[in-house]
Structure 1
Amino acid sequence: MTVAAAIPEALRRLSIVRTFDAPRALVWKMWTDPAHVAAWWGPEHFTTPVVRMDVRPGGAIHMVMRGPDGADFPFDGRFVAVEEPERLVMRTWVRREDGTTWFDVEQSFRFEEMDGQTRLHLDAVVIEAGADALGPLTGMEAGWTQSLDKLEAHVLAVTGD
């Protein structure tokens, strides 16, 4: 597996830290319950009408994000590690129409309890990517930031704050 030279080093890794005003058990549930994931996953103006997750090491992931223009963006993956309620690691990939890998990213999420709040540490590493994946990888930080904004709003809606 390789990352094309066209993908700059700065786009191969991403780290985000975000604090949620909710207990760790609730934030964990938001990441592992498909009904909750469907409510917040994806960048602004995207929905995620299909969420299938077998939350266990080796368990499959299949999601379809839908853009504001109605275009669907399916992806698959596997859970690498599940250590409730502290850590999730998953690999997700997008395939081209011919079945080859367009890009493959390993994402680690650490959930830290802090006086009734949860600090989330997100780390993403591009494992494989073709030169034609520059566009989506350029948007990875904005996409995750917007997804986490939606998660924050969903947490507030669920907790009633």
Structure 2
Amino acid sequence: MTVAASIPDHLTRLDIVREFDAPRALMWKMWTDPAHVGVWFGPEHFTTPVVRMDVRPGGTIHMVMRAPDGTDHPFDGRFIELDEPRRLVMRTWIKLADGSTWFEVEHTARFEEIQGRTLLRFQAVVVEAREDAIGPLSGMEAGWTGSLDKLAAHVRAVAVSGG
């Protein structure tokens, strides 16, 4: 696996630290329950109508994000490590029609409980990417920031509803 030399280093790694007003067990559920993931995953104005997850080491992931213009963006992945409720590691990728990998990213989410709140330490590392993947990789930070904004709103809604 290689990352094309033309992709700048700042597009191959993303680190985000966010605090959520929710206990760690709830945050774990937000990341591992397809019903919740489908609500918050994806950049602002995107939806995620398809979320299939086999939440176990080696378990598969299949999601479809839908853009505001109706274009579907499917991707697949697998869970690498699950240490409930502290850490989860997954890899996701997009394959091209010829079966080659367009790009693959390893995502690590660490959950630290601090007085009933959760500190999320999120990291995304590009492990493989073709030169023509620079477009989506350029949007990775904005995409994850938007997703985490939606996650915060969903956590608040769940807390208000008692669900």
Q: TM-score range by the shorter chain?
A: over 0.9
SS at match of 2:80: strand
Match in the other structure for 1:21: 21
Q: Please tell me the root mean square deviation across aligned C-alpha atoms, in Å.
A: 0.8
| Alignment of 1:126 onto 2:153 | no
Q: CA deviation at 1:98?
A: 1.7
Q: CA deviation at 1:97?
A: 1.9
Q: Percent identity?
A: 71
Match in the other structure for 2:153: 153
Q: CA deviation at 1:49?
A: 0.4
Q: CA deviation at 1:99?
A: 1.4
Q: CA deviation at 1:6?
A: 1.2
Structure 2 CA distance, aligned partners of 1:53 and 1:127? 21
> What TM-score results when the alignment is normalised by the length of structure 1?
0.99
- Provide Cα deviations, 1:95-133, integer angstroms capped at 9, x if missing partner: 112211000000100000000000000011100000000
> What TM-score results when the alignment is normalised by the length of structure 2?
0.97
Q: CA deviation at 1:36?
A: 0.3
Aligned length: 161
Q: CA deviation at 1:144?
A: 0.2
Match in the other structure for 1:43: 43
SS at match of 2:147: helix
Displacement over 4 Å in runs of 4+: none
Match in the other structure for 1:100: 100
Alignment gaps of 5+ in structure 2: none
Match in the other structure for 1:137: 137
Structure 2 CA distance, aligned partners of 1:88 and 1:98? 30
